[in-house]
Amino acid sequence: MKKMIASLSSLWFLATLIGCDTNEENQPEIPLEAILVENIHAPNDVIDRSTGDITESRPFRYFSLEDNQLVESESGNWDIGFKGTTIIVNGGISGSGNAQGTVVTGVFDEIDVVPASATFISDGTEGLAIPTGSGNGWYNYNFQTHIVSPIPGRVLLFKTNAGNYAKVEILSYYENNPPLAEVIGLSTPSPYYTFRYILQPNGSKNF
């Protein structure tokens, strides 16, 4: 009788394990939702336009994609940084972390996996992970109107310090994200970054 009870107990335990595994497999995946970040003020250095010299050096604004918040210090756990039109990653020459980035062409909502062709790099002496300059990275600069506008179809991909992947779309360079038609060159307050992003927290390349 004792052996019979022990066998029944073992069968019940095994069935419970199988049932748990089945339930976990049948659990629907929770879709990832985009996070909207608004008005990160990241002023550039002050430059004497007659000489090109920097008269006032300003710090980058550091941001953690993992925690969805600004990080006060360069020594903190940040992933990307902003200053003027420049975006850096916490890796290589820009930081002591392991973050990397790249720029891909596509529609933000339609990129559901990191492309196999995407090459992630840290910032280096030969260039930043997110290239600077009009038309090279995420923005165009109109030299006549002095307007900075995000390039349609450019999506920034990042690998965070924690090894997770994120996709980012810059929406605006101006305070309160006004329509570009309402931006008045140098008069509209900038730079105030507004962007949205999706972070995959489990290390997967799927979004």
Q: Where are the domains of the chain?
A: 30-200
Q: How far apart are the C-alpha atoms of 189 and 199, rounded to whole Å?
A: 29
- What pLDDT shows up at residue 53? 85
How many CB atoms neighbour CB 131 within 10 A? 14
- What pLDDT shows up at residue 24? 46
Residue from 46, 75, 48, 78 nearest 161 by CA: 78
- What pLDDT shows up at residue 27? 54
CA atoms in the 13 A half-sphere facing the CB of 144: 0
Residue from 101, 166, 163, 162 nearest 131 by CA: 101
| pLDDT digit string (tens) for the chain, length 207 residues | 444 334 444 444 444 444 444 444 555 567 899 999 999 999 999 988 788 888 899 999 999 999 999 999 999 999 999 999 999 999 999 999 999 999 999 999 999 999 999 999 999 999 999 999 999 999 999 999 999 999 999 999 999 999 999 999 999 999 999 999 999 999 999 999 999 999 999 999 999
Entry pTM: 0.85
Q: Which residues pair with 69 in a beta bridge?
A: 64
Q: How far apart are the C-alpha atoms of 81 and 42, rounded to whole Å?
A: 9
